[in-house]
């Protein structure tokens, strides 16, 4: 999934430390609408002639994830992808498996189902994840 530049509104939280490198990573996150890997973000930083090491990108993304400033998605094969949070509340995603387009969605019945299953099995629900993958309307149209 490549980086798709789309300008977004509010910036993710900077967190405790605000450094030049952290700001550069956040600037890239503000301009992408799809999930992107640390390597893709690092490549974009290099294209913009920002001298930020890949290790710094990984650390920055992890710290942003820790404070809830980015959404994190682990895809088949174990790769972790990151995206700026646009919705501050609990939410899920529709992700196009072809172009990477991502839409934030409310969990609706998934929330009730997760709680019911946890309770039925004697668990106290602490969290859950539910992402939906498929083809967006544009990609579906190109295939048919």
Residues of each annotated binding site for Fe cation: 90, 111, 128
Strands 131-134 and 92-96: parallel
- Whether the CB-CB separation of 127 and 72 falls below 8 Å is answered with no
C-alpha–C-alpha distance, residues 143 and 128, integer Å: 33
Q: Which residues are annotated as a binding site?
A: 90, 96, 99, 111, 128, 136, 139
Containing 58, the helix (H) or strand (E) segment is: helix 54-66
Burial class from Cβ neighbours inside 10 Å (0-12, 13-18, 19+) for residue 78 reads exposed
Please report, in range form, the residues annotated as the binding site for Zn(2+): 96, 99, 136, 139
Instruction: Give the closest residue to 12 by CA, choosing from 49, 74, 63, 55.
Output: 63
């Amino acid at each position: 999934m490549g980086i798709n530049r789309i300008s977004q509104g509010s910036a993710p939280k900077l967190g405790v430390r605000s450094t030049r490198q952290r700001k550069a990573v956040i600037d890239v996150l503000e301009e992408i609408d799809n999930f992107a890997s640390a390597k893709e973000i690092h490549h974009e930083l290099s294209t913009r002639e920002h001298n930020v090491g890949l290790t710094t990108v990984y650390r920055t993304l992890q710290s942003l994830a820790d404070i809830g400033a980015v959404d994190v998605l682990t895809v088949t094969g174990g790769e972790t992808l990151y995206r700026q949070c646009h919705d501050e509340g609990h939410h899920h995603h529709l992700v196009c498996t072809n172009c990477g387009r991502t839409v934030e969605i409310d969990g609706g019945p998934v929330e009730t189902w997760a709680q019911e299953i946890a309770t039925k099995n004697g668990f106290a629900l602490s969290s859950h994840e539910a992402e939906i993958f498929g083809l967006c309307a544009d990609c579906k149209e190109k295939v048919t």
